[in-house]
Each structure stands twice: as structure tokens, then as C-alpha cells.
Amino acid sequence: MDTTCVRVEPTHPTHAEHLVDFLSGDTWPFHVADVVTRSQARQWVEDGRYDGPDNRAFWITRAGERAGLVRLTDLREDTPLFDLRIRSQHRGRGLGREALAWLTGHVFTEFPEVRRIEATTRQDNTAMRRALRRSGYVKEAHYRDAWPAADGRVCDAVGYAALRRDWLAGTATLPDWDDEPGAGREGRSPAAG
């Protein structure tokens, strides 16, 4: 596929309008707000969410079309985060995995102080979870009742990360899940001791 990532320049008026159009022109079912209004999107652009010392955004283009958007955040920290949005007509076609491979390489190449990249998504976002695993991200956390959904439900959230050392080695190391004394007591109430 002909997929590229191009830096968004939201200070340019035309680019800002493209961002507003993109964000408000589709639904985002696994984000806290599944619908973004034009005024909300415009406020996000004005607030600097897509460009600045801590933030950068990139169009994900496929065959010349803006098919997605990746926003990197916390870039002055050693563990940045990202937000990935793929237009509905491009979902399920491997674009998320391509974008993850690009953003991981970009962050680890452009920001030598970054040790890890974190991602959090809803438990029921199976496509994103699969893309993360296939891109070398490892599940590190499970947060119960942590993600408010647009329909009023509260979903579990899961946390993944890619480590620089794993990326360089082409591996994915797993956390030590059995490091607590008394492991195996999960599911018991605190009162049960």
C-alpha cells in the first residue's frame, strides 16, 4: 500500500480547517467522545493539542487521501503517548498497524531520550489491541471500570507499551506477572484475607 505520514501544521489556516473537518467528519467509537463537533475540534486545534513542544500530529495518507491521524503527546517526557484515529472507510485494512510501525520508529528515532511509548485503549477495541500486539506493544495493565464510553457505560481499559530496547532488538519482552508474594489469591474479597 502507498501509506505515508505527513506532519500536520495547524497554525496554517487551511491545515487547521482540514483538522476540524477530519475530527468532526466521522465517528470515533472507541474514544471518550465518539462524535466531535466542529466547535470542539476547533477549540482543540486552538488549544495546541496538535502542535507544540509536547504535541505533534501527522496525517496518515493512503493513496493521497487523509485516511487517519496520529497525535503524539507528552513528547518532552521519557514515555510519550499517542492518539490514533482511522477514518471509518479505512478501518480493518491494516492501516492502524502501518501507522503504529511508523510512529514507533519515528518516536524512537527522533527522540533519543524516550525509553518507552505507552498506549491505552478500551478492552473491547479488539482491532486496536491486535494492531498493538502485532506492532511489538505488550500488554502491561488492565484497568477495571476506567474508560467512560459515549453511551454511558464504563468499560475496562488496557495499557500497552513498546520499549526502545525491544524495538532495537526486534523482540517483545513480557512483564513478570507473578512477582507478588501470595499470588493466586485473585478474586478473593479483601475481607476474606
**Is residue 117 within 8 Å of 161, Cβ to Cβ?**
yes
Indicate if the pLDDT at residue 192 is higher than 60. no
pLDDT above 70 coverage of the chain, percent:
94
Domains belonging to the chain, first-starting first, are 3-175 (3.40.630.30)
d(CA 169, CA 192): 44
Indicate if the pLDDT at residue 183 is higher than 90. no
Residue 45 has a pLDDT of: 93
pLDDT in tens, 148-179: 888 888 999 999 999 999 999 999 999 998 88
**Is residue 118 within 8 Å of 79, Cβ to Cβ?**
yes
Q: Is the pTM of this model over 0.85?
A: yes
pLDDT band at 64 (very low <50, low <70, confident <90, very high): confident
Residue 188 has a pLDDT of: 58
Residues 6+ apart with CB under 8 A from 111: 75, 80
Q: What is the mean pLDDT of residues 2-8?
A: 89
Residue 46 has a pLDDT of: 92
Burial of 102 from C-beta contacts in 10 A (0-12 / 13-18 / 19+): middle
pLDDT in tens, 99-115: 999 999 999 999 999 99
Q: What angle do CA 46, 65, 9 make, to 5 degrees?
A: 25
Q: Among 30-39, 113-122, 127-136, name the one with the lowest average pLDDT.
A: 30-39
Q: What is the mean pLDDT of residues 8-35?
A: 91
pLDDT above 90 coverage of the chain, percent:
78
